[in-house]
Amino acid sequence: MTTGPRTTAGPRITPGRPAVAADRAAARRMRQALAEELPRVREAALAWRNGLAGLFLGLLGFGLVKGRTDVGELAAPYDALVGGMLLLSLVCGAVGALYLLRAAHGRPAATAASGPRVSAAALYAGDHVEAGRALRAMLRGVVLTLACGALLVTGVALTWYGPDKEEPRLLVRTPAGTECGEPLRTERGVLVLRTGTGEARVPLADATALLPVDTCPGAGSRNG
């Protein structure tokens, strides 16, 4: 039994029209654009890195303006919030700096030697892929660095304007009544308290009870 010749169904590839001068000029422009793509991205990453470094020098000077310097002086939960912000700011700044360095200088790796078998098209394709990776790294680095600056400014502002941690209060009961306030000092057997209405003096010899409290039920009040 014999069969006829098989025919393959599907699209047929045929040569296109011959290239003209305009096609060759477009190809040259495309090769030039591909050759300059990666250096342009590297230059942009360097510019962003230098600009953000200048911004953070300004933020450093801003942070040195006189204000509260001890986070422990803040009332809860502002102390923990500021500590978390500063830690997150450090992480964002470090990761953002690594991304910007990756975009500006490339991945730390040995460059493969080009031989006669490596075509120009393959080199251009590799540079194009690397340019895309560098661009993505630059964008991530910029976003993370700006987030670092925002967290740093917010944390510093909270250390300045956040509420103070309340000092321990002391409630003193005497036969004449009750005094409550922040203990300041003792003078010749007299306890001096800071209350909402000023300083109050309580003779320790008259005290029947000394109780530490978080808040005063009636600061500066005397109950008869």
Per DSSP, 142 falls in state H
Q: Count of domains in the chain? A: 2
Element holding 42 (H helix, E strand): helix 21-63
Phi, psi of 203 (to 5 degrees): -65, 125
Domain range for 131 is 26-107+120-161
Query: Do 93 and 173 fall into the same domain?
Result: no
| C-alpha–C-alpha distance, residues 224 and 214, integer Å | 23
What is this structure's pTM?
A: 0.62
Encode pLDDT of 73-98 as tens digits: 777 788 888 889 989 988 998 999 89
- CB neighbour list of residue 50: distance below 8 Å, 6 or more residues apart: none
Residue 115 lies in a domain: no
pLDDT digits (tens, 9 = 90+) for 34-69: 667 888 888 888 888 888 888 777 777 665 555 566
Same domain, 57 and 150: yes
Using alpha carbons, list the distances in angstroms from residue 44 to 55, 117, 125.
Answer: 16, 32, 20
Please give the Cα distance from 145 to 154 (Å, whole number). Answer: 14
